[in-house]
Amino acid sequence: MTAVSLRPRRFQLRSNPLGVAFILTLILVGFFVIVPIALLLLNSFLVGTIGQETQFGFSNWTSVLSDTRVRKAIWNTITLALTQQSIALCVALVLAWLFARTDLPGRFMFEFAMWTALFLPPITVTLAWILVFDEFNGIANRLLQTLPFVSQGPFNIHSWWGIVWIHLVTGAIPAKVILLIPIFRHLDATFEEASWTLGASRSTTFVRIVAPLLKPGILVVALLGLIRSLESFEIEWILGSPAQIQVYSTYIYRTLQDTPPAYGQATVMSALILLVVAPLIVLQQRFASRSSYATVTGKFKGNVVKLHRWKWPIFIILTIVSLTMTVLPVALVLMATFMSRFGRFDAKQVWTLDHWQSLVVSHRFFDALSNTIIIGMGAAFVAGIVFSLIAYMTIKVRFRWKRIMDYLVWLPSAVPGIVLGLGYLWLFLGVPFLRPLYGTLGILIFVVSLSVMTLTTQMIKSSMVQLGSELEQASQVCGASFQYTFRRIIIPLILPTIVVVATLTFSNAARVTSYVALLTTTGNQPLSMFQLEAAADGRLELASTIGVVVTFLTLGVALVGRYVSSRFGGVMPAAHK
């Protein structure tokens, strides 16, 4: 009988099917990640109208760089991103510390509220705050105008600060809190106690001791947030258009809506943003790979800081904040769906069911809903199965090129969505054998899957590294193939994580706009783009009704995913421990 070696070995390309599969996967991932970016840079020098004779030159670059509107759009992009990320980081640091390190009552409920806020569709939340802070008909302005000394309301959501506010309550603060909480929980309390023993106050300890210890993690979170804020599109499109505030993503989208589309200018703008993002990518990778947190050691000591008399005042404030970020937007948008005119409480007939009645008989709505469900389920399958295979290969296969796979998997998260979408537009229109996919649901499933590839693969890898090799080795000894082992052993063991990944992917597919904005047509339009189109055209009643459907769809899938994951022993964001 031939003995079977159980020691992990390096797979050879010609001797092991898994090695062949790894190489093929590496080539495919590399093609669909690198080629679109390369096409952007190459086609930025392509001068002429698409479909006619073109030539290479610098005309696109000179026209864009000499356009004052472009410089203004880039300036708006950078200043908006820096402002919202600076405010969000300061607030998130305080909230993460309160949730992870103190005896604050209901802190796990507040953490769950951050997850809920992150799941809410940004367009829906934007509509809710338009109802509150619209310059003319906003509830807040109307209430203030009832005072004898107020002639005009001070708030205007269609403004620079209005855009900042929406970003803070939709993604910037919740995402940072979620990412910072584990870092605070792993901080050794010995350092804080030593500072207090020497007479330092809690605020001094936080600034002089805690913050420097957490600096590597904070910098990574800050850089990731800055990169993500550069891809924002829908909020700026809805709020910025009336106020003539353009960022690079809305500029690209607008130029491609012209007749004929200005592909040259849009491509140069995308290339410029890639040049802006490139240093951030290098910095993020440097801090992520070289930084050592070194706060969890063999003598690790956790500590819960007592808030004493501040406990309940902070609890009340955070309860108001949590309700403002979660329950209030949903309630406002739901109310707006029953208003005859959005935000007009002085209308002759304020309440109506007409919007819902129109929606349930709209073929376009049901087509968009069907497209959304198909895209979400398709992307969830790819994220759960295909990315599990990629994660398995990067962890279990001892292959010299697997580090390249890690970089390729990470790269899509570093490229703004509207830029990556334009890259795929070039790819699917320029490569003959991919051209038939343009305008189909397949291309949207593909792009939505890539938009979450980094996050989902890392989540699956985190689950896989906890698996020992004994079960796989036992399967190998019994003569099982890799396919059988992966399907019957690996997948069942990480099934809770796969459910979480599939849930996050489906929710993202129902909300995403920047990645698919340039790839949708009338035949494959999802609900998110239908809602964005309605909101941008001023049909806010229709946009609100669609928003309620999208919100309950995403939250419903999240609750089902949490229930299924808990039944299999998984961990989903919960309201309690």
Average pLDDT over residues 123-138: 90
Q: 416 phi and psi, to 5 degrees?
A: -55, 145
12-21, 195-204, 307-316, 371-380: segment of lowest average pLDDT = 12-21
Q: Which residue did the predictor score with more confidence, 5 or 378?
A: 378
The predicted pLDDT at position 451 comes to: 85
Q: For residue 298, name the pLDDT band (cuts at 50, 70, 90).
A: very low
Task: Tell me what the pLDDT averaged over the chain comes to.
Answer: 81
Q: Provide the pLDDT confidence category of residue 565 given band limits of 50, 70 and 90.
A: low
Find out whether 530 and 364 touch, Cβ atoms under 8 Å: yes
pLDDT above 70 covers what percent of the chain?
84
How far is it, in rounded angstroms, from Cα 112 to Cα 18?
40
76-99 tens-digit pLDDT: 998 999 999 999 999 998 999 899
pLDDT (average), residues 364-386? 92
Enumerate the domain spans of the chain: 17-40+71-348+355-567
**Residue 566 vs residue 529, higher pLDDT:** 529
Residue 53 pLDDT class (50, 70, 90 cuts): low
Determine the pLDDT at residue 173: 93
DSSP state of 414: G
- Domain 17-40+71-348+355-567 homologous superfamily, CATH: MetI-like (1.10.3720.10)
459-491 residue pLDDT tens: 787 777 666 666 666 777 777 776 777 777 777
Nearest by Cα to 420 from 39, 28, 25: 39
Average pLDDT over residues 253-266: 80
CB within 8 Å of 279: residues ≥ 6 apart: none
pTM for the predicted model, two decimal places: 0.82
188 pLDDT band, cuts 50/70/90, is low
Q: How far apart are CA 171 and CA 404, in angstroms?
A: 30
Q: Please state, for a pLDDT cut of 90, what percent of the chain lies above it.
A: 23
- Please tell me the predicted confidence (pLDDT) of residue 260: 74
The better pLDDT of the pair 3, 265 is held by 265
Whether residue 177 contacts residue 97, with contact meaning beta carbons closer than 8 Å, is answered with: no
Distance between terminal CA atoms of the chain? Answer: 51
**Region 132-136 average pLDDT:** 88
**What CA–CA distance (Å, rounded) separates 379 from 382?**
5
User: CA-CA distance, 72 to 75, in Å (whole number)?
Assistant: 5
Tens digits of per-residue pLDDT, 195-253? 777 777 767 777 777 767 777 778 878 877 887 787 788 899 999 988 889 998 888 88
